[in-house]
Chain A
Amino acid sequence: MNVRFHDNPVLSPQMPMWRSRLVLILLMLAFVALAAKALHVQGLSTEFLQRQGERRYERTLVLPATRGKIFDRTGNVVLASSVPARAIWAIPEDARNATPEQLEALATALGMSVKDVERRLVDLDKSFVYIKRQVDLDTADTIRSLRIPGIHQQPEMRRFYPEAEMTAHILGFTNIEDEGLEGVELAFDAALSGTPGSRRVIRDRLGRVVEDVQAVIPPTHGQDLHLSIDAGIQFELYTALEQAMAEHNATAAAGVVLDVQTGEILALANTPSYDPNNRDARRGPALRNRAVTDTFEPGSIMKPFTVGLGLDMGRIGITTTFDTGNGTYRYQGATISDVSRNGVIAVSDVLRRSSNIAMAQISERLTSEEMWNHFNELGFGRPPQANYPGVASGRLRPWERWRPIERATMAYGYGLSASLLQIAHAYTAFARDGDMVSLTLLKREGHPTSVQAYSPAVAREVRNMLEAAAGPDGAKLASVQGYRVAGKSGTARKIVDGKYSKSLYRSSFVGFAPVSDPRIVVAIMIDEPKGGAYYGGRVAAPVFSEVVGKSLRRLGVQPDAPFESLVAIGTGGEDAQ
């Protein structure tokens, strides 16, 4: 008999109806639960879940902005530039697994001692410890290839100053985060530093960027700066100052070179200097930008301004004579003395002889108010219009409080203080037609503004007197072969413990060249020369001469003075073999 399978009575027992119902209801409940979960996931907690999901494949990348470069006026010489570097950091807990050999290899690569590295890894509670920052990329790559557990890297930027000591004071420096702290880096920090951009991207499992989620915010890179500094002249100034400092065993020296026509600062140097690339060297008095931030009593280099004022106001004429007697002069209960006996001298000789007595007599023909107004107009006692950190305004007390003797001392540069830059700036009035040009540290694009301080005729007269003062009968060490120079030396006593010192001096020389059509103003200051000589005409004038000669040649200025012979290059006796 052929029985079909499902007709088998064993296989078809009567089931109670409720069991199938129960299964059905359970199934329905399961679906309801699923639907509820779906609703919860899809509807109620979508945002949270989407955010969580995005966190797993989306990343916000910071697009770093690079700090702008700093160039000299030619645009060919890089004075400061940032390059990528890496910071080496560690998680001390993980770094415990590193073998001593690995740590030693790390220490040698970083140029540190193993002890130093280990000391940084002692604190296991910390989760982030810098081992060394600003490590160059090659070293960082070697360290990466060591695969030391717990040692990680992080990109950073490092700023380099190729000219090092030479431009240290002008440029200043940045901190480890690449923010300006001093000098140009601070003054133009806003322009130099850019704004970092960002982009939100999706990454695949290999870490490659697959696509942008939002529009990319591009980084704004810092602008490049073109300074007014001429690297060549800067070098000449710096080496001349350094030599002078060594020769005269001086404490410090500073110098400024200005372009007469444009008011651009062509060079500004100080010694002692420091290497801005070496963070440990950035301390102590070497950091001082003396030419800009230090004020001092100018002494004789102020005399031309008083003479100019007297001439300009018609109180003295070019032929007015002064009786300076035997070199000492009682005035308002004080004694004013000259270095030498000059007898009766004309105005034209006052600057050449640098007579304090004649200056006191000129001041008698002027009022304190007139002198104050004039000095103030020349920028003394006023903060210079420069957004440069630490620019000193100097000190010029209000004229109402001047004692009569002070009017006389002010006339020859005592009782007020100014920075070397301010004095150099004021001298542009004599180098130009009596107008003082505005200064700039950036390459000038348009025409400079200027303030008239003297009439052109007076400026010309003072210019002639200054040429005589720097001539054979004056500070002859200031003369430059082939060029007519004008200038005034100054030797100011330093104030020590409230009294004028008899052994500490500040020698200075300020002048300009070539006289027929002045191109540069050069101001030199040597602080505390201790080599025996201390007169400005002896200590500072040779530096002036060297800087002027080399700068004018670099600028390609045609000589305006006769010089001995013309020897074709290569046939001279000093031809080097």
Chain B
Amino acid sequence: MVRVCLALAALLMISAFFLVTARFQSRLLYTQLDRLEDQSRQLDTDWRRLQLERAELARQARIDNIARNELNMLSGSPERTIYIRVPGLALDEGVPPGGQP
């Protein structure tokens, strides 16, 4: 009887220890989860900011200005464009009269 009692007491102690460790671990994991969620929010914010910065750099007005003034580019016009018709590709019917090389 005494032995059984002792064994049960030992089991109880072990289980209690496990409970404590498990709870501790769960808290650790929880803080980690929290931190990672924070990080994910932070990354999302960074992404938004970078996307905006990219948009700022890719602004139509800026590109147009750089292309014209710094790179000395010109707008394309039909007489400077070669229109290629790929057979098999369903394009509008009719070939532009001046559009063929």
> What's the Cα separation between A166 and B54 when bound, in Å?
17
Instruction: Identify the closest chain B residue to A560 (Cβ).
Output: B96
Name B19-64 residues within 8 Å CB distance of A.
26-27, 30-31, 34, 45, 48-49, 51-52, 54-56, 58-61, 64
Asked if A22 is at the interface (CB within 8 A of a chain B CB), the reply is no
Contact check, B79 vs A209: say whether CB atoms are below 8 A apart. Answer: no
Contact check, B55 vs A576: say whether CB atoms are below 8 A apart. Answer: no
Instruction: Identify the closest chain A residue to B45 (Cβ).
Output: A84
> What's the Cα separation between A295 and B58 when bound, in Å?
35
Contact check, B31 vs A576: say whether CB atoms are below 8 A apart. Answer: no
Name B67-85 residues within 8 Å CB distance of A.
72-83
One digit per residue, 1 when the CB lies within 8 angstroms of any chain B CB and 0 when it does not, for chain A 52-96 equals 000000000000001001000000011001111000000000000
Contact check, B27 vs A210: say whether CB atoms are below 8 A apart. Answer: yes
Contact check, B58 vs A77: say whether CB atoms are below 8 A apart. Answer: yes
Contact check, A569 vs B80: say whether CB atoms are below 8 A apart. Answer: yes
Given A162-B59, A567-B80: A83 in contact with B74 (beta carbons within 8 A) = no
Contacts of B87 in A (CB 8 A): none
Q: How far is the CB of B85 from chain A (nearest CB, A)?
A: 9
Contacts of A559 in B (CB 8 A): 78, 83, 96, 98-99
Contact check, A162 vs B79: say whether CB atoms are below 8 A apart. Answer: no
> What's the Cα separation between A562 and B75 when bound, in Å?
19
Asked if A239 is at the interface (CB within 8 A of a chain B CB), the reply is yes
> What's the Cα separation between A559 and B83 when bound, in Å?
9
Name A326-365 residues within 8 Å CB distance of B.
none
Contact check, A162 vs B52: say whether CB atoms are below 8 A apart. Answer: yes
> What's the Cα separation between A84 and B48 when bound, in Å?
9
Listed residue (B30, B60, B74, B100) with the most chain A CB atoms within 10 angstroms of its CB: B60
Contact check, A563 vs B82: say whether CB atoms are below 8 A apart. Answer: no
Name B86-101 residues within 8 Å CB distance of A.
91-92, 94, 96-101
> What's the Cα separation between A574 and B72 when bound, in Å?
11
Contact check, B55 vs A77: say whether CB atoms are below 8 A apart. Answer: yes
Contact check, A211 vs B74: say whether CB atoms are below 8 A apart. Answer: no
Contact check, A232 vs B60: say whether CB atoms are below 8 A apart. Answer: yes
Tally of B interface residues using CB under 8 Å = 39
Contact check, B98 vs A576: say whether CB atoms are below 8 A apart. Answer: no
Contacts of B92 in A (CB 8 A): 516-517, 558, 560
One digit per residue, 1 when the CB lies within 8 angstroms of any chain B CB and 0 when it does not, for chain A 553-566 equals 10000111111111
* Contact among B26, B58, B73, B75 for A550, CB-based, below 8 A: B75
One digit per residue, 1 when the CB lies within 8 angstroms of any chain B CB and 0 when it does not, for chain A 398-425 equals 0000000000000000000000000000
Name A222-249 residues within 8 Å CB distance of B.
231-232, 234-235, 239
Q: How far is the CB of A471 from chain B (nearest CB, A)?
A: 17
One digit per residue, 1 when the CB lies within 8 angstroms of any chain B CB and 0 when it does not, for chain A 77-120 equals 11001111000000000000000000000000000000000000
Tally of A interface residues using CB under 8 Å = 46
Listed residue (A209, A481, A550) with the most chain B CB atoms within 10 angstroms of its CB: A209
Q: How far is the CB of A538 from chain B (nearest CB, A)?
A: 23
Asked if A319 is at the interface (CB within 8 A of a chain B CB), the reply is no
Asked if A577 is at the interface (CB within 8 A of a chain B CB), the reply is yes
Asked if A178 is at the interface (CB within 8 A of a chain B CB), the reply is no
Instruction: Identify the closest chain A residue to B100 (Cβ).
Output: A566
Q: How far is the CB of A248 from chain B (nearest CB, A)?
A: 21
Contacts of A483 in B (CB 8 A): 78
> What's the Cα separation between A560 and B78 when bound, in Å?
11
Contacts of B99 in A (CB 8 A): 558-559, 566
Contact check, B31 vs A208: say whether CB atoms are below 8 A apart. Answer: yes
Contact check, B55 vs A560: say whether CB atoms are below 8 A apart. Answer: no
> What's the Cα separation between A231 and B77 when bound, in Å?
20
Contacts of B100 in A (CB 8 A): 566
Asked if A163 is at the interface (CB within 8 A of a chain B CB), the reply is yes
Q: How far is the CB of B56 from chain A (nearest CB, A)?
A: 5
Contact check, A83 vs B49: say whether CB atoms are below 8 A apart. Answer: yes
Contact check, A83 vs B72: say whether CB atoms are below 8 A apart. Answer: no
Asked if A284 is at the interface (CB within 8 A of a chain B CB), the reply is no
Name A523-577 residues within 8 Å CB distance of B.
549-550, 553, 558-569, 572, 574, 576-577
Contact check, A562 vs B52: say whether CB atoms are below 8 A apart. Answer: no
Contact check, A208 vs B34: say whether CB atoms are below 8 A apart. Answer: yes
Given A166-B60, A211-B30, A559-B98: A78 in contact with B52 (beta carbons within 8 A) = yes
One digit per residue, 1 when the CB lies within 8 angstroms of any chain A CB and 0 when it does not, for chain B 1-21 equals 000000000000000000000
Instruction: Identify the closest chain A residue to B97 (Cβ).
Output: A562
Given A78-B51, A211-B30, A574-B74: A235 in contact with B79 (beta carbons within 8 A) = no
Q: How far is the CB of B57 from chain A (nearest CB, A)?
A: 9
Contacts of B79 in A (CB 8 A): 481-482, 563-567
Q: How far is the CB of B90 from chain A (nearest CB, A)?
A: 12
Contacts of B75 in A (CB 8 A): 550, 553
Asked if A160 is at the interface (CB within 8 A of a chain B CB), the reply is yes
Listed residue (B54, B55, B61) with the most chain A CB atoms within 10 angstroms of its CB: B55
> What's the Cα separation between A576 and B82 when bound, in Å?
19
> What's the Cα separation between A213 and B70 when bound, in Å?
60
Residues of A bordering B, CB below 8 Å? 66, 69, 77-78, 81-84, 160, 162-164, 166, 208-211, 231-232, 234-235, 239, 481-483, 516-517, 549-550, 553, 558-569, 572, 574, 576-577
Closest 8 CB pairs of A and B: A482-B78, A235-B60, A162-B55, A576-B72, A562-B97, A78-B55, A562-B98, A559-B96
Q: List 8 A-B contacts (CB under 8 A).
A: A162-B55, A164-B59, A210-B30, A558-B83, A562-B96, A562-B97, A565-B79, A574-B74
List 8 other contacts, CB 8 Å, given A77-B58, A78-B54, A162-B52.
Answer: A83-B48, A84-B45, A210-B30, A481-B77, A516-B94, A549-B77, A574-B74, A576-B72
Residues of B bordering A, CB below 8 Å? 26-27, 30-31, 34, 45, 48-49, 51-52, 54-56, 58-61, 64, 72-83, 91-92, 94, 96-101
